[in-house]
Amino acid sequence: MATLAGAGESYTQSGASGVGRQNAEDVGDFITNISPTETPFISQIGKVTATAVVHDWLTHSLAAAAATNVWIEGTDASLTTPTTLTRLTNSCQINAKAVAVSGTQDKVKKYGMGRELAYRVLLHTKEIKRDMETAALQNTAGDFTTGTTTVARRIKGVEAFVTTNTATITTAPTVAAINTQLQLAWAAGGNPDCILVNGNNKQAISALTTGVVKNLDANDRRFTTAVDVYESDFSVLKVVPDRFDNTQTVKILEMDLFKIATLRPMEITPLAKTGDTTKRQVLCEWTLESRAENGNAILTTA
């Protein structure tokens, strides 16, 4: 049946390009954002204070155990050469984001938010935290300098620090490969308590139980395929997925051996107002301490 000529219809009475504009829009007063904000590594490790852009710390090891350290009765004491301390360093890195919002945009009524400026600043703080997590886990060497007018300082990441106990395999992680790296870290004095992995290797570790007989409670009605705790001969470790980790590494870490050293904590600074805009800068200056890299291990997979 044809539409009655001259009748008002919704498709001609609403919208920016319609004949009429009186029909109200139907927009949900909320904003959906599922971007991940979890930062398992930097959220779990300890925090200390940095006081300069180049941050140093000391490590020390006992002399090797010796079965030959036996003395003849009555012998005069002879001096033992002291073991040497090691001085490690990392540069403080600046992470920052800035936003400017016009006075009008900040004031007008919007869907899903109050003030535009506050909303954008909140997003930037979350984004910087994600940037910090990503940087901390990388294989970046760091520059260990005060930087230049053209080159920004960058931190040395976990993968660059952990060099003693490393191995590469051409398959997905195996029990044997993980245990080998665990034993090396343990023999050096480490007690790893976390296996940090991206999603693909989290699934690969969970798949290590394939073919293993599982006793399930029939009344529970749950089928569990995940492995969240790895109990080895040397330590018990949480298996933690990290969306910002390298897709090819299995990081076997003692979390107490890493610290975030902060020179300037996350701060929100008003910038000079120019015209009808308000500006804010979100900034953090920090670095990573690796206090005993040989107490950790890294397994690189295909």
The tokens describing 134, both together, are 């990503």
pTM for the whole structure: 0.88
Q: 280: which residues sit within 8 A by CB, 6+ positions away?
A: 98, 99, 117, 120, 121, 268, 269, 270, 271
24 belongs to a structural domain? no
The tokens describing 287, both together, are 């670095």
148 belongs to a structural domain? yes
Region of residue 75 (left: phi > 0; alpha: psi -120 to 50; beta: else) = beta
29 belongs to a structural domain? no
264 belongs to a structural domain? yes
Give the range of the structural domain holding residue 250, as residue numbers without chain letter: 40-58+85-211+225-300
21 belongs to a structural domain? no
Cβ 201 vs Cβ 301: under 8 Å: yes
Give the total number of structural domains in the chain.
1
- Look at the block and give the residue holding tokens 């940090």: 196
35 belongs to a structural domain? no
pLDDT computed for residue 138 by the predictor: 94
3 belongs to a structural domain? no
- The runs of H, that is alpha helices, within 71-227 are 103-107, 116-136, 158-161, 175-187, 199-206
Burial 33-57 (b: 16+ CB within 10 A, else e): eeeeeebbbbebbeeeebeebbbeb
Q: What is the pLDDT of residues 6-35, one digit of tens each?
A: 666 666 665 555 455 677 777 888 888 888
Q: What is the pLDDT of residues 154-195, one digit of tens each?
A: 999 999 999 999 999 999 999 999 999 999 999 999 999 999
pLDDT computed for residue 188 by the predictor: 95
34 belongs to a structural domain? no
Pick 295 or 222 by higher pLDDT. 295
